[in-house]
Chain A
Amino acid sequence: MQKTIRLRTAALYLLPAVLVTAAFYLYPLAYTVPVSLFRWDGVSRMSWVGARNFAVLTGQPEFMASLANSALWIAVGTFVHTPLGLLLALLLSRKPPLWSLFRTMFFLPNVLSVASLALLWYFLLNPTIGPIDGLLRLAGLPGLALPWLSRTGSALIATMLPFVLYIGFTMLIFLSQLTLIPREYYEASQLDGATAAQQDLHVTIPLLRRAVIINVLFNASFSLKMIEYPLIMTSGGPANATMTLPLFMYFQMTRAREFGLTMAAGLVTIVFGALFMGLVFLLQRAADRRWA
C-alpha cells in the first residue's frame, strides 16, 4: 500500500519537471495556434491573416511535397522498417551463435548521430567517390552506377535508406518484449506439432502487439522530426523530392523568415502526428479485443 502524501509535498519534487514540461511542451503548443494565424517575420509587427496561411501552404508545391514525403516516411517506418526490426528480433531470439554480438552491432548505428550517418551515406551514394556506384561498376553494371541522390525518382528512397537499414532500436524493443513471453506458451504449441514459423506467426507475433505499437509510434515520431537526412544529403531537392515537414519549416524560418507560415506548418505537423497516433491507438484497441 502506497503512502499518501499531500499535494504540497509532492509539488516540491514535481515542480522542476512540471516547469520544464510547461515551457517546452504546453506553452509551445498553446503558442502555435494563434501565431499560425498571423503574418510575421519575427521582428516587425505581426499582421492578422487568419486562416490564409493555411491556404498559402496548400498552394506551395514545396509544402505539399513535404507533407506527402513525411507521410511516406511514416509509412516506410511502419511497413518496412518495423517488420525488418521484427524479423531480426525473431532471428536473434533463437539465440544463434554470437547473437549478443549481432545485437550489439545492429544497435551501433542508433547511437551515432543521424547527422554523421547522413553525411556518411551522402558519400557512400556519391557517384564519383562513393563505393556503392564503384562496386556496381566493378560488378559490370555501369548502367546502374547512377547519381542516386540527384535523380527525382530515387532521391527520396536514397535519403530513407539508412533509416530503413539501421533497425537496431526497433529490434531491441521487440527483443525486450520477446524475453517476457513465458516458455510454456511454446511448449504447448510444440506438442501440437507447430513449426518454428507457425509458432512465430500464431504465438509470438500476437503477443508482441504492445511492442509493435510502441515501435510504430516511435518511428512515426522520429519520421515527423526527420530533418538531418534530407538537409545534409540533398537540401530537400531535387525539385522538393526529398523535402520533409521539419526541413520545410526550417527553411521557412531561417531563409524566408515567414514565422507565421512556419507555425502554420508546425500546427499541421502536430495535428497530422496526433491523428496518426490516434489511429494507431484505435487499431490497438481493436487488436486487443480480437486477441484478448
Chain B
Amino acid sequence: MMARILRWAVLLAFLAVVLLPLIWLLGASLEPNQELFSRPGGLASIHWGFQNYGSVLVEAPMLLYLFNSLFVSAASALTGSAVATLAAYAFLFRFPLRRLFYPLLTFGLFVPTSAFMIPYFLMVSRIGLYNSDPGIALVYVGISLPTAFLIVTTHMREAVFAELLEASFLDGATVHQTFRGIVAPLALPGAVTAGIFLVIIGWNELLYALLLSQDDLSRTVQVAISFLVATYTANFTQAFAAMIIAVLPVVAIYIFLNRRIVAGLGMVVGLK
C-alpha cells in the first residue's frame, strides 16, 4: 500500500513539473503585463485576452522568424532524409569496406558538434551562405545526418525482406531499378519518421542559427527567443506570447505524431 502511494506520488510530481510551468506560461501570456507585476508569483488573473499575441505578431518580425524556422527545418528534413535513405539502401547489400562505412556514418551521433563553431562558420561563409536560410539548413543536415541514417537504416532492415530483393533481381531488375521500384516506396515510412525528427531538431536548434545569422533576414524563432529578455525587458507577457507561438508548431506535431516519434527514438538507438 505504502509502495503504491509512493509510486503515484512520484508519477504525479513529475507530471506537475511538466504541466504546471506550461500552464503558468500559457496563463501569463494571456494577461496584461501590469497584472503580472501587481500580483507577484500568483496564479490567477481576471483580464485574459489575446492582445499579447496580436502585438507580438504585429510589432516584431515574428512572421519572418517563423518563415525562416519553417524553411530551415523543412529544407534540412527533406535533404537529410533523402541523403540518409540513399545511404541506407547500400547497406541492404554486401560491398567492399562496408564495415568501415557504417561507423563512419554513425559516429557523429556522439561528437560534441558545438566544438565546430569556427569550421562550420567559415565553411558556410566561404560558400556565400552566411546570413541565409540555406546556410543554416545545410549545417542542420550535417549535425542531424547520423540520427536520420540510423532511423532509416533500422526501418529499412525490417521493411524490406530479403525475398523481395531476390525476386526483383530474379526478374532481371538492376540495383537502381530495385531501389526505385521496390525499396523506395517501402522505405518511405522510415524516411518520414527521420524527417519528423529532423523537423523538430531544425525547429529547435539555437547555436548555429545564432552564429550563422546576422539580421532578421535569416533569424529563426529560436534566435528571437534568445533575444526576448533584451527585447521585451519591460513587457514580459508579450515575451510569453512569443514563446507560446515558438513552441506551438512542435507541440502540434507531437500531439498528432507522438507514437511515431516514440518508435523513431527506438530506431535511433537500435532498440525496437
Which A residues fall within an 8 A CB radius of B? 1-7, 9-10, 12-14, 16-18, 20-21, 23-25, 27-29, 31-32, 35, 42, 87-88, 91-92, 96, 102-109, 111-116, 119-124, 128-135, 137-138, 165-167, 169, 172-173, 176-177, 180, 196, 210-211, 214, 217-218, 220-221, 224-225, 227-228, 231-232, 245-246, 249-250, 253-254, 259, 262-263, 265-267, 269-270, 273, 277
Pick from B14, B110, B226: contact of A232, CB below 8 A: B226
Distance from B79 Cβ to chain A, minimum over Cβ atoms (Å): 9
Q: Which 10 A-B pairs have the closest CB atoms?
A: A134-B41, A24-B142, A113-B204, A266-B115, A17-B87, A224-B112, A246-B114, A10-B95, A28-B119, A28-B116
Inter-chain CA distance A224–B225, complex, in Å, is 22
Distance from B94 Cβ to chain A, minimum over Cβ atoms (Å): 4
Residues from chain A with Cβ under 8 Å of B22 in the complex = 120
Would you list which residues of chain B between 67 and 90 have a CB under 8 Å from chain A? Answer: 82-84, 86-87, 89-90
Residues from chain B with Cβ under 8 Å of A32 in the complex = 115-116, 119
Q: Contacts A17-B149, A221-B110 hold; do A119 and B118 have CB atoms under 8 A apart?
A: no
Chain B residue with Cβ nearest A228: B206
Inter-chain CA distance A266–B115, complex, in Å, is 4
For the A-B complex with A3-B166, A119-B228 known, give 14 more contacts whose Cβ atoms are closer than 8 Å. A3-B93, A16-B82, A17-B87, A18-B87, A27-B119, A87-B10, A104-B258, A105-B15, A112-B204, A112-B251, A113-B203, A124-B21, A172-B266, A176-B262
Would you list which residues of chain B between 169 and 185 have a CB under 8 Å from chain A? Answer: 169, 175-176, 179
Residues from chain B with Cβ under 8 Å of A273 in the complex = 110-112
Contact B14 A106 (CB under 8 A): yes
| Contact digits for B100-127, partner A, Cβ 8 Å, 1 yes 0 no | 0100110111111111111111110000
Residues from chain A with Cβ under 8 Å of B116 in the complex = 24, 28, 32, 266
List 14 A-B pairs, Cβ < 8 Å: A12-B176, A21-B108, A25-B107, A28-B115, A31-B119, A32-B115, A134-B41, A135-B41, A211-B271, A220-B110, A221-B110, A221-B111, A232-B225, A266-B116
Q: Contacts A105-B15, A128-B40, A246-B114 hold; do A14 and B119 have CB atoms under 8 A apart?
A: no
Interface size in chain B (residues, C-beta < 8 A): 98
Contact B113 A225 (CB under 8 A): yes
Inter-chain CA distance A23–B129, complex, in Å, is 15
Residues from chain A with Cβ under 8 Å of B211 in the complex = 250, 253-254
Residues from chain A with Cβ under 8 Å of B247 in the complex = 112-113, 116
Contact A119 B229 (CB under 8 A): yes
Contact B108 A96 (CB under 8 A): no
Contact A88 B141 (CB under 8 A): no
Residues from chain B with Cβ under 8 Å of A245 in the complex = 112, 114-115
Inter-chain CA distance A249–B200, complex, in Å, is 25
Q: Contacts A28-B116, A134-B41, A138-B41 hold; do A13 and B204 have CB atoms under 8 A apart?
A: no
Contact A13 B87 (CB under 8 A): yes
Contact A24 B143 (CB under 8 A): yes
Contact B41 A270 (CB under 8 A): no
Inter-chain CA distance A71–B89, complex, in Å, is 39
Inter-chain CA distance A111–B236, complex, in Å, is 24
Would you list which residues of chain B between 237 and 265 have a CB under 8 Å from chain A? Answer: 239-240, 243, 246-247, 250-251, 253-254, 258, 261-262, 265
Inter-chain CA distance A225–B115, complex, in Å, is 8
Distance from A69 Cβ to chain B, minimum over Cβ atoms (Å): 14
Residues from chain B with Cβ under 8 Å of A3 in the complex = 93-94, 165-166, 169
Q: Contacts A17-B149, A119-B239 hold; do A131 and B117 have CB atoms under 8 A apart?
A: no
The reply on B92 being an interface residue by CB < 8 A is: yes
